[in-house]
């Protein structure tokens, strides 16, 4: 097979980081989302888009480059994190890549995402790989620890070597309409991140309405977020296509008004190759092929890579491997 990978990472060097903007209450007040229309649009994506054979293999290899390979479990250990990093450095077995004609492609995930306690371990394990470490921070997953503690946690993760910080908003600020409070808190988090990119987790399943999701997205982008992310993966409702549409359309609106490109990260419950292809089709339709690059789109996932590798093996051998033959950790 001769694969052409969808999308390009060439925009990374030209990507301008979000400098942040003043809180615009008039803009915020104009954000209204039509839930019924979003549901209708979301319902058409998986039904209309189907990628087959060699094209599917190319899209799935691209999907690997968009994964934040994640382990956020209460029983994580240094050993588990090292195994996760080893998988990140070799996400697809060499014989599968050879069978796909993709041996010369540098396939690696967008980042490895861990708790602060394991940042130093992951940084050491990934040394020389070019794969950044992302740390969840600010009282993950609820974001309700004292503000001073959350700021210190960000700074500690950056000092330990994290290049990306996934911070959590206080959902109560959205539900009570405290937009100024949310904006100021996001500004403080962004300052604490320094050169590390800030990925802002909205906890969309707990924000009650799509209009709240849209407003929270805008406030976080105005405050300097580099990415907006759906979920911690710990909520009852995590990423879905309807909420993805809301957030992508806010990113597009923000880009049209400011010229600044903001990244998008759906997280929680995305575990199959089919799901990944559906989200990629949605991003391509709404934002264009340019957004299918690691600096603008990531999946937050722990088991997605396993199913992608199974699908790629089927492309080469005609057989599916059992999950336990492709363990992450």
Of the chain, the end-to-end C-alpha distance in Å amounts to 30
Angle between helices 147-160 and 179-193 (to 10 degrees): 30
Whether the bond into 68 is cis, omega within 30 of 0: no
Dihedral sign (CA 219, 224, 226, 232): negative
Active site residue 166: yes
| C-beta separation of 320 from 310 below 8 A | yes
Please say if 68 is a catalytic residue: no
Q: Identify the active-site residue in 62, 265, 275, 307.
A: 265
Within a 10 A sphere around the Cβ of 265, how many other Cβ atoms?
A: 25
Structure tokens given for 254: 């923000």
Q: Which of 233, 221, 305 is nearest to 268 (CA)?
A: 233
Q: With CA atoms as reference, report the closest residue to 188 among 175, 203, 169, 204.
A: 169
Catalytic residue among 62, 87, 108, 229: 229
Side by side, the strands of the sheet bearing 263-265 are 263-265, 227-229, 197-201, 164-168, 133-136, 111-115, 67-70, 299-301
Helix (H) or strand (E) holding 135: strand 133-136
Give CA–CA dist 303/296, Å, rounded.
21
Q: What is the DSSP letter of 321?
A: P
Choosing from 166, 226, 275, 307, which is the catalytic residue?
166
**HSE (side-chain half, CA atoms, 13 Å) at 55:** 6
13: number of Cβ within 10 Å:
7
Q: Indicate if 265 belongs to the active site.
A: yes
Catalytic residues: 166, 229, 265
């Amino acid at each position: 097979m001769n694969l052409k990978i969808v999308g390009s990472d060439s925009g990374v060097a030209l990507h301008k980081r979000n400098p942040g903007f003043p809180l615009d209450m008039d803009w915020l007040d104009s954000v209204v989302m039509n839930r019924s229309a979003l549901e209708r649009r979301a319902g058409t994506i998986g039904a209309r888009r189907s990628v087959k054979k060699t094209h599917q293999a190319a899209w799935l290899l691209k999907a690997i480059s968009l994964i934040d390979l994640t382990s956020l479990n209460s029983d994580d250990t240094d050993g588990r994190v090292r195994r996760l990093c080893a998988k990140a450095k070799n996400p697809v077995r060499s014989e599968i890549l050879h069978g796909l004609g993709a041996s010369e492609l540098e396939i690696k995930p967008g980042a490895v995402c861990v708790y602060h306690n394991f940042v130093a371990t992951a940084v050491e394990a990934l040394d020389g790989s070019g794969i950044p470490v992302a740390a969840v921070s600010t009282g993950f997953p609820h974001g309700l620890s004292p503000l001073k503690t959350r700021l210190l946690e960000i700074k500690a993760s950056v000092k330990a070597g994290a290049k990306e910080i996934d911070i959590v908003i206080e959902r109560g600020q959205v539900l009570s309409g405290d937009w100024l409070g949310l904006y100021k808190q996001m500004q403080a988090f962004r300052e604490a991140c320094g050169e590390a990119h800030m990925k802002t987790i909205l906890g969309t399943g707990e924000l009650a309405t799509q209009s709240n999701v849209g407003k929270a997205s805008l406030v976080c982008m105005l405050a300097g977020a580099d990415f907006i992310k759906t979920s911690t993966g710990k909520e009852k409702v995590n990423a879905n296509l309807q909420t993805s549409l809301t957030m992508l359309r806010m990113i597009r609106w923000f880009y049209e008004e400011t010229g600044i490109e903001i990244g998008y990260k759906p997280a929680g419950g995305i575990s199959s190759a089919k799901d990944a292809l559906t989200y990629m089709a949605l991003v391509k339709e709404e934002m264009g092929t340019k957004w299918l690059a690691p600096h603008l789109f990531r999946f937050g996932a722990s088991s997605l890579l396993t199913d992608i590798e199974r699908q790629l093996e089927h492309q080469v051998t005609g057989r599916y491997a059992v999950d336990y033959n492709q363990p992450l950790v």
